[in-house]
A and B are shown apart, each in its own frame.
Chain A
Amino acid sequence: MLTRLNRLPMLAYYVATIALGFALWSILARLVGNGLLPPPETVARAFRSEYERGAFIDDIVASVRRVTLGFVIGVTAAIPFGFAMGWYRWGRGLLEPWVQFFRTIPALALIPLYVIAFGIGEFPKVLVISVATFLPTVVATYQGVLDVDGTLINAARVLGANDGTIFRRVVVPSSLPFILVGARISLGAAWGTLVAAELIAASSGLGYLVQRSALYFEVPSIFVAIITIGFIGLAMDRAVALVHRKATHWQERR
């Protein structure tokens, strides 16, 4: 029975698990009672009314924009830092203490400082997300460079490659899989800090929607925001995963 179950197409499991999740949610909602956990159909109605309210699409656009911008800036900035740390001893010595230090500081704790320094516009919001996405990619890139096979570097050297060529044609492609894994983790971090970023005097966005709904005790709308974040996050992760798979098709896989 179990071996037969193992042979279904992946999509079948996805559909099954989502259906199971909804069923469980439905049952739990009825057990808990309406106030705290609204059942799926109530949330569906909330989706409709949020959409009809008009600002919902603006909220989505605002959040996707912040996440994408923060993600792209953070990851792009992280790659040269990661390379510097992995390739040069001085880079490791000078940068690693800072990276490790900032890695343990919660994004939320830095927000008051950002507000004092940069006000309450878009910039500090994107900055919160950038910092959160910067760190995983730095660490991943750094590890990727450390992991470059020394024999490949030697093979390039004996064929006449100088340091620049080795960097471009060996170190970069060889650490690319690591960088892309870092980017995927960073994307999760970007969505993870969105709500925190939108604590900064936001007037739109999915994180803002969560806070506003909480304020008026509109529990179904909180679910609307959470589910929307989840689905957009999932879609963006699939996109990055696709890039990952295409860019690393040369890797041996189990």
Chain B
Amino acid sequence: MDIRVDGLTKIFTKARTPPFVALDDVDLACGGGEIVALVGPSGCGKTTLLNVIAGLTEPTSGHVTVDGVAVTGPGPERGVIFQQYALFPWMTVRENVEFGLRLRGVRRSQLRGVVDHYLELVGLGDFPDTLPKELSGGMKQRCAIARAYAVQPVVMLMDEPFGALDAMTRVTLQEQLLDTWGQERTTIMFITHDVDEAVYLARRVVVMASNPGRITKIIDVDLPYPRTQETRLSEAFVASRATVWREVWRPMVGGEAL
């Protein structure tokens, strides 16, 4: 398994407030080039889990290994996509994608070709010299995806990457992500609060609940890839979505706090 999470607990302590249990003894394993979606209400610790795997947050206890190596900090074998795009605004699209490649010591002569390939992959081939401020939200996120894929990570961690986009753009980017994934076959861990999105993209949906943050159920989505917009209309899709919805809503309706 590419990502293995064992007994992960994260407690945030702040002066004058009771400690907040963001993650309570979480176990999870995923890999083999699958897409796993994490869904759950706010405060269920899904972002915290992703940040611990990314090496951006230290766990209180438990540990994470990626490709058999214990995570002690961030590393380029784990690509991260942030909801806020996080493009460097003073760099052009090309320079943004180059950033990680240069750090990996890719030679200048090869740089151009690699960047062009990934820009083409996300459909930004015509905008290499554009600044982020001139891009739409969807294009910004596509640039961020190209930047993350360019360093060829083993796993891709995505934190509500399409959360700030309008519905149509979101659908387009979901399709494009599946396309890219079809070519790169990286394991993707995808956080979303959109159940439709989770079912459409993922082979498995991990449902989380809050207070304390934990995994309540892992649901297999039995829909073959490649998935298309037709898939969304199929009975199997509707059934899977219903299963996930029930699982997401059950603890909340149970009065466990929203």
A interface residues, Cβ below 8 angstroms from B: 149, 151-152, 154-161, 165, 169-170, 173-174, 176, 249-252
Per the 8 Å Cβ criterion, residues 136-173 of B in contact with A are: 144, 147-148, 151
In the complex, A170→B87 CA distance in Å? 11
In the complex, A93→B48 CA distance in Å? 31
Q: Are B133 and A250 in contact (CB under 8 A)?
A: yes
Number of A-B contacts (CB under 8 A): 67
Q: Are A154 and B131 in contact (CB under 8 A)?
A: no
Instruction: Sort A-B residue pairs by CB-CB distance and give the 8 closest, nearest first.
Output: A159-B100, A155-B86, A160-B76, A158-B80, A250-B90, A157-B74, A160-B103, A158-B74
B interface residues, Cβ below 8 angstroms from A: 54-56, 73-76, 78-80, 82, 84, 86-91, 99-100, 103-104, 131-133, 144, 147-148, 151
Q: Are A151 and B74 in contact (CB under 8 A)?
A: no
Tell me the minimal C-beta distance from B54 to chain A in angstroms.
6
Q: Which residue of A lies closest to B80 (CB)?
A: A158
Chain B residues, CB < 8 A from A252? 89, 133
Q: Which residue of A lies closest to B92 (CB)?
A: A250
Q: Are A251 and B100 in contact (CB under 8 A)?
A: no
Q: Are B104 and A160 in contact (CB under 8 A)?
A: yes
Chain B residues, CB < 8 A from A151? 82, 84, 86
Q: Which residue of B lies closest to A174 (CB)?
A: B90
Q: Are A170 and B56 in contact (CB under 8 A)?
A: no
User: Known interface pairs A250-B90, A250-B133. Does A156 touch B99 (Cβ–Cβ under 8 Å)?
Assistant: yes
Q: Are A161 and B103 in contact (CB under 8 A)?
A: yes
Q: Are A169 and B86 in contact (CB under 8 A)?
A: no
Chain A residues, CB < 8 A from B99? 156, 159, 161, 169
User: Known interface pairs A154-B56, A155-B80, A250-B133. Does A160 touch B100 (Cβ–Cβ under 8 Å)?
Assistant: yes
Q: Are B56 and A250 in contact (CB under 8 A)?
A: no
Chain A residues, CB < 8 A from B104? 160
In the complex, A158→B74 CA distance in Å? 5
Tell me the minimal C-beta distance from B164 to chain A in angstroms.
13
Chain A residues, CB < 8 A from B84? 151
Can you list 10 A-B contacts with CB-CB less than 8 angstroms, sorted by A residue number? Answer: A149-B86, A151-B84, A154-B86, A156-B88, A158-B75, A158-B80, A160-B74, A161-B99, A250-B133, A252-B133
